[in-house]
Amino acid sequence: MSTYDRSMALTGQPPVMLSRNQKIATLVGMFGLAVILLAAFNINFPNKSLWLTISLVSIIGGAVWYSWDAYMHKAPGIKNDGVWFKSLSNQGFWGWIAGIALTGFYIILYFYPEYLGLVAKGDNKGVIGLFDPLSKALSGNPASQWFVYGTLYTVAILAFGIKFLWKYRHNRYERIRTFSVMFFQTAFAFIIPELMARLNGSSLLNGGSLPYYDLKNMWPLNYYNFEGYRIKGFLSSGDIGFAMLIFGIATIFIISPILTYKFGKRWYCSWVCGCGGLAETAGDPFRHLSDKTVKAWNIERWVIHSVVVFVTLMTTAVIYSYLGNDTSKYWLTKSSFLIGVAVLLTTVFAWVMLFKREQFKKDAIYGAIGYFVIIIALIGFHFYSGDGNVFLFKSGTLRKSYSFLIGSIFSGVIGTGFYPVLGNRVWCRFGCPMAAILGFQQRLFSKFRITTNGGQCISCGNCSTYCEMGIDVRAYAQKGENIVRSSCVGCGICSAVCPRGVLKLENGPLKGRIDSNQVLLGNDVDLMKLVNQK
Amino acid sequence: MENIVIIGNGIAGVTAARHIRKLSDKRIIIISAETDYFFSRTALMYVYMGHMKFEHIQPYENWFWEKNGIELVRGYVTQVDTPNKQVLVDGSRAFHYDKLIIATGSKPNKFGWPGQDLHGVQGLYSKQDLDLLEINAPNKEACKRAVIVGGGLIGIELAEMLRSRDIPVTFLVRETSFWNGVLPEGESQLINEHIREHHIDLQLATNLVEIIPDENGKVKAVTTDKGDTIACDMVGLTAGVTPNIDFLKASGIELGRGVKVNRYLETNVADVYAIGDCAEQHEAIGNRRPIEAVWYTGRMMGETVAQTICGNRIEYRPGHWFNSAKFLDIEYQTYGWVFGERGKKEFEQHFHWRDDKENLCVTIAFHKETKLFLGINTFGIRMRHEIFDRWLTEQRDVEYVMEHLADANFDPEFYADYEHKIVSKFNSDFGKSIKSKKKSIKRIFQIS
């Protein structure tokens, strides 16, 4: 279609080549990565604390220096020049290389941690060994592959968060939001759980030990939260443990619906969530790669809602499997639990069908299918389950396949590994059951919308192109319609890149939220009344 | 079944087609010589700048047209035969029409400058112009300097585009200050400064005299009426546009600068309509120009003509004027009428505020005697279309607007607000003591 692709240069056109500062910055950052890579090949660094510090400081320093040079000499404003000319960000050669490298890293991380130096009994070696001093300083325990991952994850969010802050320094919404994800990652996902581990066995917890718990991470994103060993951990840890268990239940059933009603699901997905945090910072250079076609949208809805059904069944099965039958031992039994789940789902389903039918249209059928699959499965649980078995297979099998397929492959290997190929929100868009549930609330029961500013849209396509969730924002904006989509994470970039000030994320009244009138497209009211007649 | 033939697949023609399809099952044929599919002309710049690929500026996926029964024909209409009701494409293929809509848009102005047709000299309007720019100015090595002639919206866009590839730009503007035929002085001044912040060599009150070729017939330099010779590899001619109607000269359709139409967008020939940039009203509507080469008006005319063609003959009655643009990093919106020095009415009084630190300013026009609010220009602050449209309809006075200015703000959440600064400047300018009210969701969304 276009003519700019004549050169074979991997970096695209001249203005997107690296400056001298950026070359040095890249060298510094790569040096930091090289230290980790060498450790992976079992080079035993003499002073691990020192080398780990050098490595992490180089990575952050290199990334920050690079971004400083990229943005700080330019006037504040949108910085998308040459995005589609760079092979790293246009699904070109370097994009694929980056995708393959990330995917490979995730496969090793999830399935072959011993290659990273994990030693079950005895001192860790390799990369994990390199991170031991830091882990011991925080939690008192040696590092695991998850500690290494958590550290690198936090480093990525901080370093690229700073980049993002400079890139959007003219935009206060983006800046405050980015400070928020940087804070929640560093404090809640990284430091607090490590420090909490120090409490284990202390009198504060009545000698019990808490499971590793990132407090901002709620079910079903942490699908494992209500598994037997965790419940035992919570219940063994006195009032604090009990409070955390209650908090875990409250986050999904009380806190998140209220916040989503007031602010839309953005309060979580682009302000708090760790997956969202990485996507918005390290993933930002790839946001335009998400597929905007109607076909992709159809696939998205099937896949993500199937995951919701899967996780609901899996969690129910897991809890069911460790509950007893005797009410005198514990108030919650297998049967009463199943009935509870069925009642809850029926209430939600009936409420939607009664009050929100209008907004649901043909999606109602899909909703009904999902609902009935779950209900029939619940009945199946009841009649066909034996000891340790749920339905026809072991609950453990169900849990393991979820953990493998969704928890590892989808959210990690594909979700992050494919950033440079499919965009930075693949997991959030196609896979995350949490996003689906919050999205459902956002679509039907929230004050949040993206308001279209009357008739000012020029159909340029910046909003759609830079929507990481693959929403065709323009399709609504050019008709003068507000954008109310369940998948919108409220990152605010569509509004930022709009050259005509057409889009505004806001929380407003429920009335007229979706079907705004088209009077403002510019013609007089009589004509627009005719046009609005459907 | 009636054949509706539309010449031109821009916003006007495509809007007409979409609305005719909504209202009827008539056969719809769109003929375009430019591209296979509709694209957003205003977004061409972002393709050159690498913000988007060409496919991204096409608002509809390619299956859309067939699915909606809109036939697309690629070709150049060479002749419109009104007695036989047919159009001839590329001199060979003939299409019969029952209703014909001319929506052929504009072409860049050329004012007979010596050398205006040399290699390396071009306008910026069509997809072909974009392709040409990739040849004339692919990078700063091939194009060591570009000269842009004509200080309007397209000129500044072209300058921004070239700067995105680090190409040095000299910008020749005939006026004494950028776009001051339209913008009031303070705003024009702000943009002058902003252009220079972007390292564009802005030369005001300077005219092109001649474009000088090298031995291969390619541009080598330009000379200006200031006596300068500027070496360059590319010249952008962006001194406005003219309706693209040369192919209609022998058709019997009445032409002025554009295709002459009445308020029903009908030409002098039955069943032939003209909409968008190429249509010229016999008499200007309100403060509007007879030819409105604006995205939004093209869209409105498309909607209007669709009603007429589907049996509901209706006048083109545009609502309150609005427009927008972006000057490099500064967004501009306007609602109602604010005139520059040249067009300013004798009853029109201006209030101007400019922030002392950031690139923000606002100009509000109101009636000297009645204080009636006439319009607003806003730079760097987004305003809510619906609110200004309402205030204009309700004929609010300027003091009401000042008092409720916060309701009109459309900036993203958490942005600093400037209403207090604006209102206090207004108070000190006019000896008032207006207090600005807090933003009210109830007022904005009209909930009681």
Over residues A235-292, the pLDDT tens digits come to 888 888 888 889 999 999 999 999 999 999 999 999 999 999 999 999 999 999 999 9
Q: Which band of pLDDT confidence, cut at 50, 70 and 90, is reported for residue A11?
A: very low
Per-residue pLDDT at A7: 43
In a domain, B422, yes or no: yes
Dist CA A316 CA A301 (whole Å) = 23
- List B residues 196-215 in contact with A (Cβ-Cβ < 8 A): 197-198
CATH number at residue B158: 3.50.50.60
Distance from CA of A105 to the nearest CA of B (A): 30
Domain hosting B79: range is 3-107+242-309
Which tokens go with A125?
A: 């070696």
Q: Which range, of A146-150, A410-414, B262-266, averages the lowest pLDDT?
A: A410-414
| Residue B218 DSSP code | B
What pLDDT score was predicted for residue B118?
A: 96
The amino acid at residue B44 is: L
Q: B320: closest CA among B382, B406, B422, B396?
A: B396
**Is B49 close to A80, i.e. CB distance below 8 A?**
yes
- Look at residue B115 and tell me if it is in a domain: no
Strand B361-367 to B373-379 pairing: antiparallel
DSSP label at residue B258: S
Nearest C-alpha of chain A: how many angstroms from B252?
A: 30
CB-CB contact of B259 with B102 (8 Å): yes
Q: How far is CA B373 from CA B346, B348, B424, in A?
A: 15, 10, 18
Distance from CA of B297 to the nearest CA of A (A): 8
**CB-CB: which of A82, A474, A511 is closest to B59?**
A474
Lowest mean pLDDT among A272-276, A519-523, B181-185: A519-523
* pLDDT higher than threshold 90 for residue A444: no
Q: Are B228 and B251 in the same domain?
A: no
Give every strand in the sheet of B86-89, ordered side by side. B77-81, B86-89, B93-96
Q: Which residues of B touch A500 (CB under 8 A)?
A: 324-326, 331, 333
Digit-coded pLDDT (tens) for A24-66: 999 999 999 999 888 888 777 888 889 999 999 999 999 999 9
- Which residues of B fall within a CB distance of 8 Å from A512? 445
Q: B269-325: per-residue pLDDT in tens?
A: 999 999 999 999 999 999 999 999 999 999 999 999 999 999 999 999 998 999 999
Is A509 in a helix, a strand, or coil? coil
Instruction: Tell me if A458 and B43 make a contact (CB, 8 A cut-off).
Output: yes
Same-domain status, B357 and B266:
no
* Contact residues on chain A for B384, CB-CB shorter than 8 A: 453-454
| pLDDT, average across residues B112-121 | 95
Shared-domain flag, residues B191 and B126: yes
Neighbours of A312 (CB within 10 A): 21
Q: Please list every residue in chain A whose beta carbon sits closer than 8 Å to the beta carbon of residue B40.
A: 458-461
Task: Please indicate, yes or no, if residue B116 is contained in any of the structural domains.
Answer: no
- pLDDT computed for residue B10 by the predictor: 96
Q: Report d(CA B347, CA A332) in Å as an integer.
A: 80
In a domain, B143, yes or no: yes
Residues B134, B176 within the same domain: yes
Question: Per the structure, how many domains does chain B have?
Answer: 3
Question: How confident is the model at residue A1, as a pLDDT?
Answer: 37
Mutation target among B48, B53, B67, B383 for the A interface, most CBs of A within 10 A: B53
The helix/strand/coil state of A389 is: strand
Q: Which chain A residues are within 8 Å of B161, Cβ to Cβ? A: none
Q: Higher-confidence residue: A318 or B82?
A: B82
**What confidence tens digit (pLDDT) does each residue in A67-104 have?**
999 898 888 999 999 999 988 899 989 899 999 999 99
Q: How far apart are CA A166 and CA A162, in angstroms?
A: 6
Output the average pLDDT for chain B: 95
Is some CB atom of chain A closer than 8 A to the CB atom of B304? yes
Q: How many CB atoms lie within 10 A of CB A46?
A: 6
Rounded to 5°, angle at Cα B135 from B129 and B139: 115
The domain boundary, picked from B239, B271, B287, lies at B239
Contact B414 A511 (CB under 8 A): no
Is residue B316 domain-resident?
no
DSSP state of A214: -
pLDDT digits (tens, 9 = 90+) for A214-234: 888 888 888 888 888 888 888
| Residue B112 placed within a domain | no
Give the Cβ contact number of residue A97 at 10 Å.
14
Between strands B169-172 and B201-203, the pairing is: parallel
Whether B232 is covered by a domain: the verdict is yes
Clarify whether residues B251 and B209 are in a common domain.
no
What number of C-beta contacts closer than 8 Å exist between A and B? 199
Is residue A524 very low, low, confident or very high in pLDDT (cuts 50, 70, 90)?
low
Backbone phi and psi for residue B102, each to the nearest 5 degrees, phi listed first: -95, 120
Amino acid at B291: I
Tracing tokens 């011991």 back to the chain, one arrives at A136
Closest CA to A334 of A397, A387, A376, A401: A387
Cβ within 8 Å, pair A455-B312: no
End-to-end CA distance of chain A, in Å?
Answer: 37
Integer Cα distance of B159 and B195 in angstroms: 9
Distance CA B372, CA A233 (A): 71
- Helices marked H in B147-294 — which ranges? 153-163, 185-197
Q: What is the pLDDT of residues B75-99, one digit of tens each?
A: 999 999 999 999 999 989 999 999 9
Given a cut of 80, whether residue B391 has pLDDT beyond it is: yes
* Helices and strands: H and E segment counts in chain A: 24, 4
Residues B361, B271 within the same domain: no
CATH architecture of the region A446-532: 2-Layer Sandwich (3.30)
B20, closest residue in chain A (CA to CA): A531
The reply to whether residue A454 touches residue B385, judged by beta carbons under 8 angstroms, is yes
Residue of B nearest to A293 (CA): B61
List the single residue in B54, B140, B322 with the smallest CB-CB distance to A2: B54
Range scoring the smallest mean pLDDT among A67-81, A345-359, A379-393, B94-108 = A379-393
B412: nearest CB among A75, A171, A527:
A171
What residue in A sits closest to B302 (Cα-Cα)? A523
Is A531 close to B319, i.e. CB distance below 8 A?
A: no
Chain B residues in contact with A478 (beta carbon < 8 A): 59
- What value does the mean pLDDT take over residues B373-379? 97
